[in-house]
Amino acid sequence: MVNEDFDKPNGITFSPDESVLYVGDTGRTNGEFRPHNLMAFDVVGGSLENPRLFAKVDPHVPGGFRADVNGNIWVAAGDGVQIFNPAGDLLGKIHTPEVAVNLSFGMSDEQTLFIGATSSIWSIELNIAGATRPTY
C-alpha cells in the first residue's frame, strides 16, 4: 500500500514524463459531502511523495482522466469534460448533455478525444495530442 488517504479511489494516470501520479477519489458517490477530487503525488525513485490536492471536480466526481502532451489533465465529469493545467487550474470544459464517465485519446495521431457517457459515446477532434508512454 502506498497511500491510505482516500475515501473511494478510482482511476489513475501519469503526467507525460511519469514524474507525477494522479489518483481520483469518488467518495461523493456515497454522500454529498464526501471527496470528489484528483490528488497528485510526485514519483521519486519508485515511491510516492508530496501528496496534494490537485483539483476538485464539480459537479459529480472524476471519472476517467488522461494527460495530454503538455501535461494538462482531461477529466470526465458530471457536466462533460473538465481540463486542468499542470498547476490544477481549470482551463475549460467540453459540455455534454449526459454525465461523462470515461475518456481516451485515440486515432493514429492521438488527437481525437473519445468521451463515454451514460448512454452515448462522442468523439471530438483536438489541436493537441494525448500523452503517450515516454521513451527513455
Is the Cβ–Cβ distance between 33 and 70 less than 8 Å?
Answer: no
Average pLDDT score over the chain: 88
Give 106-124 pLDDT, tens digit per residue.
999 999 999 999 999 999 9
Residue 88 lies in a domain: yes
DSSP reduced 3-state for 24: strand
Tally the residues of the chain.
136
pLDDT > 70 fraction of the chain, expressed in percent and rounded: 85
Quick one: CA dihedral 19, 86, 35, 12, positive or negative? negative
Position 4 pLDDT exceeds 80: no
Mean pLDDT of 34-63: 86
Please give the model's pTM, rounded to 2 decimal places. Answer: 0.90
CATH code at position 32:
2.120.10.30
Give 67-114 pLDDT, tens digit per residue.
999 999 999 998 999 999 999 999 999 999 999 999 999 999 999 999
> For residues 34 and 123, which has the higher predicted lDDT (pLDDT)?
123
Distance CA 70, CA 89 (A): 14
The whole domain housing 17 covers: 9-125
How many domains would you assign to the chain?
Answer: 1
Residue 130 lies in a domain: no
Residue 21 lies in a domain: yes
Q: Write down the pLDDT at residue 130.
A: 97
> For residues 31 and 22, which has the higher predicted lDDT (pLDDT)?
22
Mean pLDDT of 125-135: 90
Position 63 pLDDT exceeds 90: no
Residue 132 lies in a domain: no
> For residues 15 and 30, which has the higher predicted lDDT (pLDDT)?
15
Residue 134 lies in a domain: no
Residue 24 lies in a domain: yes
Q: Write down the pLDDT at residue 30.
A: 62
